[in-house]
Amino acid sequence: MYVTKIRQQRRLAGVLNYADARRRAWKVLPRLLFDYIDGGADDELTMRDNVERFGELRLRPRTGEWVPVPELSTEVLGTALSMPVLTAPCGGMRLVHPDGDLAIARAAARAGVAPVVPSGGGYSLEEVAASAEGPRWFQLYKFSNRAGMEGLVERARDAGYHALVMTIDTNIAGNRERDFRNGFGYDLRINVRNALRLGPQMARRPGWAFRFWRDGMPFELPNTAPFGSDGRAMSLTEMARSGAESFSPTWHDVALVRKVWNGALVVKGVLAGDDARQAVDLGADAVVVSNHGGRQLDGVPAAIDALPEVVAAVGGAAEILLDGGVRRGGDVVKALALGAKAVLLGRPIVWGLAVAGEAGAVHMLELLRAQIIRTMCLMGCPSVTRLGAEWLWERPRG
């Protein structure tokens, strides 16, 4: 245990920001897996915009204000958070690190935030719930087997998940060309075909390959047990090749879930005000402004650009969260100033996980906390609950 901790500290030494973590992860992961996380759809315009549009916003500080310790804690849908952050639902994390979703949930608990546990995780929702104390949300995809999907909702309720996050922007998979070029087919089992195709990549990352082999090369998605063709959990490969209709969500599906779930309901993947209003009319308690990290439809607005329209359309009838492009604490502050209650953090957590497992995920969360604190102090703003449009300069004309 002590030796492992020393190794983690060495791996995290010098990781001061997102770019540092990404560079370290590149040295750990095989290229096909790194690009699967790092890449987006088509020309990756939206993925880049998610980050760049944050950089075009300018903060409007108040000088002459002394804020020694700004208040970061907040509450979202009754979930107390030590800072306005949740970890985003990211599938396939057991490929990144053997502890995968368990490590992310434990890291979130240690940081006092909530994880949004994915349907497509490498551990069952019950295993994740048992791995860490603290509040947790569960992300739900639409599945063609309605009874099985309702069963998944019931399991989330029984396991103590506070909120259900229904993803609605996955009609079909986005055109992720990096994956095609690298031969990433959701099947990395050691066999003759993969040895010829992927062997050189794996040989360059022996540490990752050994951990993956020792973990049993898991490809099953335990939460999908009711949906597999043979009655067992679906593999990553089977889920990837399933027909589009099986996973194409509609407003009808949101209404069905609302009937069987009596907890907080969140709709994720909204970019337009009309859609946000529709979600609220169907009973959503919150919406997540998100373009799936630029991994679905390329050419749509950056999440931060879509945020003001959604906030105006909802008009306080539901809480608003933002997912996409957050790289520093200043980005969190900007999102809150434009009306978000909290943000979801995806790639930064994944890079930390790749570098040092649970310790790496905690490191990235605490880096973000320190950045938020520094930004708030320099702005003269005493609390995240005080943030509004008056803390930003007029946004640039696009």
Q: Is the pLDDT of residue 192 over 60?
A: no
What is residue 225's predicted lDDT score, i.e. its pLDDT?
Answer: 67
Report yes or no on 341 lying in a domain.
yes
What is residue 227's predicted lDDT score, i.e. its pLDDT?
Answer: 62
Q: Is the pLDDT of residue 183 over 80?
A: no
Residue 360: strand, helix, or coil: helix
Q: Which residue has the higher pLDDT, 183 or 276?
A: 276
What is residue 232's predicted lDDT score, i.e. its pLDDT?
Answer: 64
Task: Tell me if 319 sits within 8 A of 286, measured CB to CB.
Answer: yes
User: Pick the catalytic residue: 97, 162, 292, 363?
Assistant: 292
214: left (phi over 0), alpha (psi -120 to 50) or beta: alpha
Mean pLDDT, residues 312-333 taken together: 97
Please indicate whether residue 292 is annotated as part of the active site: yes
Structure tokens at 125: 């929702």
What is residue 398's predicted lDDT score, i.e. its pLDDT?
Answer: 45
Q: Is the pLDDT of residue 88 over 50?
A: yes
Distances 11 to 1, 32, 98, 314, 348 between C-alpha atoms, Å? 15, 22, 17, 44, 15
Count of domains in the chain?
Answer: 1
Q: Is the pLDDT of residue 228 over 60?
A: no
CATH number at residue 295: 3.20.20.70
Report yes or no on 257 lying in a domain.
yes
What is residue 6's predicted lDDT score, i.e. its pLDDT?
Answer: 78
Q: Which residue has the tokens 């907040």?
A: 74
pLDDT in tens, 143-160: 767 777 888 999 999 999
What is residue 364's predicted lDDT score, i.e. its pLDDT?
Answer: 98
Structure confidence at residue 206 as a pLDDT band (50, 70, 90): confident
Structure confidence at residue 204 as a pLDDT band (50, 70, 90): confident
Q: Is the pLDDT of residue 244 over 60?
A: no
What is residue 196's predicted lDDT score, i.e. its pLDDT?
Answer: 53
Report yes or no on 396 lying in a domain.
no
pLDDT in tens, 285-298: 999 999 999 999 99
- Weakest-pLDDT range from 86-95, 126-135, 168-177, 224-233: 224-233
Query: What's the chain's Rg over C-alpha atoms?
Result: 20
Report yes or no on 34 lying in a domain.
yes
Report yes or no on 390 lying in a domain.
no
Mean pLDDT, residues 12-35 taken together: 94
Report yes or no on 335 lying in a domain.
yes
Estimate to the nearest angstrom the gap between the alpha carbon of 204 and the chain centroid: 28
Domain that holds residue 243: 2-380
What is residue 3's predicted lDDT score, i.e. its pLDDT?
Answer: 59
DSSP E strands, 16-122: 74-76, 79-81, 85-87, 114-117
Q: What percent of the chain has pLDDT over 70?
A: 88
Structure confidence at residue 257 as a pLDDT band (50, 70, 90): very high
Q: Which residue has the higher pLDDT, 173 or 391?
A: 391
Report yes or no on 395 lying in a domain.
no
Task: Enter the pTM of the model.
Answer: 0.92
Backbone φ and ψ of 209, nearest 5°: -60, -40
Q: Is the pLDDT of residue 279 over 60?
A: yes
Report yes or no on 154 lying in a domain.
yes
